[in-house]
Amino acid sequence: MGRFHRHDDGTVHEHEHEHEHDDKHGDHSAYETGPERIMVLERIFDENDRAAENNRSQLDAHAVVGVNLMSSPGAGKTALLERTLAHFDGRRRVGVVEGDIETSIDADRLAGYGAQISLLNTGDGFGGECHLDAPMVAKALVDLDLAALDLLLVENVGNLVCPAEFEVGTHVSAMVYAITEGEEKPLKYPVMFRSVDVVLVNKMDLLPHLDFDMALFEANLARVNPKAKVIRVSARTGEGVDAWFAWLEAQSACT
């Protein structure tokens, strides 16, 4: 329990009391001043979320559908993006925000499919940021001609923890999950799995070589996100990717 007062600059402070409140309790003017306390009550993601909202407004102004694509490293996001860009080349105008810690290797792989690509190297932090945040994506949007786009795919940094915490300002979120990652990851990373609208279960061509139990994976996923749509694909062979393209088309139709 403390005592609040407002300063001229608008901040509100609370001073700790050094006595109990159950006794009679007269004039407060003589209370003992302990360390000064500033009440803040600010959500740590507020600033990011405001930037995300601003990104989404920019996309809306140009009728662009934004998709945040997340996964662990090596699950096949870039391979899937290659197929996606090849499919939509000439049909839909696609832009890509490519988040990568240090290199342009992924952006180079995606060149040549007629898409606008904006590379975001996130290597400025301590050893590289492990996710994209909304202010970073805002910078990437500056490099894109949004008026000439229908669809924006944001390839997040490969990581199952941080990207789930930082909204980037897309309309929907998708996740690429490789069956080589095992069945239990939805339970270990519930924040990530809860944050997505669709899970692309990738590397299905490897199924005969693995002990992967698809029913168990889907049951685990349903425990943390019963609403997530599951699409089984192989980015390598192209198996199942038409359902992913159809899902993307459906998102465009919704907005």
Partner 1 sequence: MHELSLCNAIREVVGRAAAGRPVDTVHLRVGKFRQVVPETLCYCWELVTATSPLAGSTLAIDHVDISLRCAACTAETTPQGPLALVCTTCGSGDVSILTGEEFLVTSLELKES
Q: How close are the terminal C-alpha atoms of the chain, in Å?
A: 49
Q: Which one, of 103, 94, 99, lies nearest residue 144 by Cα? A: 94
Minimum distance of partner 1 from residue 40's CB (angstroms): 5
- Binding marks (x or -) toward partner 1, 184..213, rule CB under 8 A? ---xx-xx--x-------------------
Minimum distance of partner 1 from residue 221's CB (angstroms): 10
Judged by CB under 8 A, which of 206, 222, 230, 243 binds partner 1? Answer: 222
d(CA 16, CA 218): 51
Both tokens of residue 1?
A: 């329990």
Identity of the residue, 109 or 188, whose beta carbon is nearer to partner 1 in the bound complex: 188
Judged by CB under 8 A, which of 18, 32, 35, 208 binds partner 1? Answer: 35
d(CA 236, CA 44): 40
Burial of 180 (0-12, 13-18, 19+ CB in 10 A): middle
Judged by CB under 8 A, which of 56, 77, 131, 232 binds partner 1? Answer: 131
Identity of the residue, 208 or 226, whose beta carbon is nearer to partner 1 in the bound complex: 226
* Segment interacting with partner 1 (CB under 8 A) among 46-54, 200-208, 229-237, 247-255: 46-54
Compute the chain's Rg from CA coordinates. Answer: 24
Query: Are 241 and 82 spatial neighbours (Cβ–Cβ below 8 Å)?
Result: no
Residues near partner 1 (CB under 8 A) are 9, 11, 14, 35-48, 125-126, 129-131, 133, 161-162, 165-166, 187-188, 190-191, 194, 222-224, 226
